[in-house]
């Protein structure tokens, strides 16, 4: 049985993943900013087999509140061995091009809050000598594009942070998994036209649980995004800058 804290637990991808954990009989602490939605999800996870489904409220940009929430989760579950960080916002790119406040807010949510949460979590897991850290980054972090480079660069920062953290923690028995989904049909992408490359949250959730269990380092979900991003990364800059992506 795992003792799992999920940050951003109301996310569609996180909820689908939590259902798989619950069905295995894991213990969960769901963290998010919407207490009533968390309560509904927790009740559902209890029915699905979770041995414990606690909740804690947190707006991740309230950095001063992070430590207390982690303490609460540890108390509720009697320890922690797995963390899934899933929160995020798809930044309004054009707003961020004209408003530094908007740019900073997006970085707080998508990058800094993740790093801030991982700092005490990494130290706790290193001290106990075990643990699995899984964070949802994005394929958008693999190369900045004009249509979403604020979001993409925040995810790139998270990806690089995780790469270094993975090296630091590997001798402590702690695994760090970077999850890079492609297009997923969730509330975040509700306004986008959907096509063949789109996946459902359940598919991504299965990939996440499998990658945690196998203690993978980096996973593209679905797998074909590894090839797509390989091609996108290989386009020379003098060509890339003329594309309208
Ligand atoms: N959907 C995609 O195509 C896609 C692709 C690649 C990566 N991702 C990443 O996957 C992760 C999950 O996203 P999703 O697709 O499942 O979208 P989603 O259902 O819209 O979930 C986003 C989550 O982030 C939470 N959140 C946003 N700001 C927050 C804040 N300040 N404090 C606390 N929680 C906050 C939201 O909470 P509320 O419910 O309270 O709003 C929601 O639970 C994100 O990191 C996203 O960047 C998504």
Phi (first) and psi of residue 74, to 5 degrees: -65, -40
How far does residue 50's CA lie from ligand 1's centre (Å)?
Answer: 23
Mean pLDDT of 92-112: 97
Three-class DSSP category at 183: coil
DSSP string, 41-109: HHHHHHHTT-SEEEEEE--TT-GGGHHHHHHHHHHHHTS--EEEE-------HHHHHH-HHHHHHHHII
Q: Which residues pair with 177 in a beta bridge?
A: 134
pLDDT band, residue 142 (cuts 50/70/90): very high
What is the model's pLDDT at position 96? Answer: 97
Token digits of residue 133: 């850290």
Average pLDDT over residues 93-116: 98
Whole-number Å distance between alpha carbons of 78 and 75: 5
Is 151 considered catalytic here?
yes
Residues within a 6 A CB radius of ligand 1: 8, 10-13, 32-34, 59-61, 86-89, 109, 136, 138, 181, 183-184, 186-189
For range 45-70, the mean pLDDT: 98
**Number of H helices and number of E strands within the chain?**
10, 7
**C-beta separation of 195 from 236 below 8 A:** no
Tell me what the mean pLDDT of segment 147-162 comes to: 98
Ligand 1, residue 140: give the atom nearest the CA.
Answer: 6
3-class state of residue 177 by DSSP: strand
- Of the chain, the percentage scoring pLDDT greater than 70 comes to 100
For residue 205, the model assigns a pLDDT of 98
Its pTM stands at 0.98
Of all helices (H) and strands (E), which one includes residue 164? Answer: helix 149-169
What is the pLDDT confidence band of residue 105, given thresholds at 50, 70 and 90? very high
Q: How many Cβ atoms are within 10 Å of 28's Cβ, its own excluded?
A: 29
State the pLDDT at residue 173: 96
Give residue-wise pLDDT tens across range 198-242: 999 999 999 999 999 999 999 999 999 999 999 999 999 999 999
- Measured between alpha carbons, how far is 106 from 92 in angstroms, rounded to an integer? 9
Q: Rounded to the nearest whole angstrom, what is the distance from the C-alpha of residue 87 to the centroid of ligand 1?
A: 4
Q: How far is the CA of 11 from the centre of ligand 1 (A)?
A: 5
Of the pLDDT bands very low, low, confident and very high (cuts 50, 70, 90), residue 79 is very high
Domains present along the chain, CATH in parentheses = 3-240 (3.40.50.720)
CA 238 to centroid of ligand 1, rounded, Å: 33
Q: Where are the beta strands (DSSP E) in the chain?
A: 3-7, 27-32, 52-57, 82-85, 131-136, 174-181, 218-221
5-30 pLDDT, tens digit per residue, is 999 999 999 999 999 999 999 999 99
Please tell me the distance from the alpha carbon of residue 44 to that of residue 58, in angstroms, as a whole number. Answer: 20
Return the pLDDT at 163: 98
Q: Average pLDDT, stretch 153-182?
A: 98
Residue closest by Cα to atom 47 of ligand 1: 88
Residue 131, beta-bridge partner list? 174
Atom of ligand 1 nearest to the CA of 189: 1
């Amino acid at each position: 049985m795992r003792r799992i804290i999920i940050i951003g637990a109301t996310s569609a991808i996180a909820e689908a993943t939590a259902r798989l954990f619950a069905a295995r009989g894991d213990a969960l602490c769901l963290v998010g900013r919407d207490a009533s939605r968390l309560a509904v999800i927790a009740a559902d996870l209890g029915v699905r087999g979770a041995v414990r489904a606690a909740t804690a409220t947190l707006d991740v940009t309230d950095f001063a509140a992070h430590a207390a929430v982690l303490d609460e989760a540890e108390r509720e579950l009697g320890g922690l061995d797995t963390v899934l960080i899933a929160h995020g916002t798809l930044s309004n790119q054009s707003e961020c091009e004209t408003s530094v406040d908007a740019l900073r807010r997006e970085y707080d949510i998508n990058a800094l809050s993740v790093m801030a949460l991982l700092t005490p979590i990494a130290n706790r897991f290193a001290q106990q000598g075990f643990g699995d850290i899984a964070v949802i980054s994005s394929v958008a972090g693999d190369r900045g594009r004009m249509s979403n480079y604020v979001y993409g660069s925040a995810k790139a920062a998270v990806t690089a942070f995780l790469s270094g953290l993975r090296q630091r923690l590997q001798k402590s028995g702690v695994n760090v998994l970077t999850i890079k989904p492609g297009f997923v049909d969730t509330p975040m992408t509700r306004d986008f036209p959907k096509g063949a490359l789109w996946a459902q949250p359940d598919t991504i959730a299965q990939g996440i649980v499998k990658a945690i269990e196998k203690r993978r380092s980096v996973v593209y979900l679905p797998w074909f995004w590894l090839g797509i991003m390989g091609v996108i990364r290989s386009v020379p800059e003098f060509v890339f800058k003329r594309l309208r992506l």
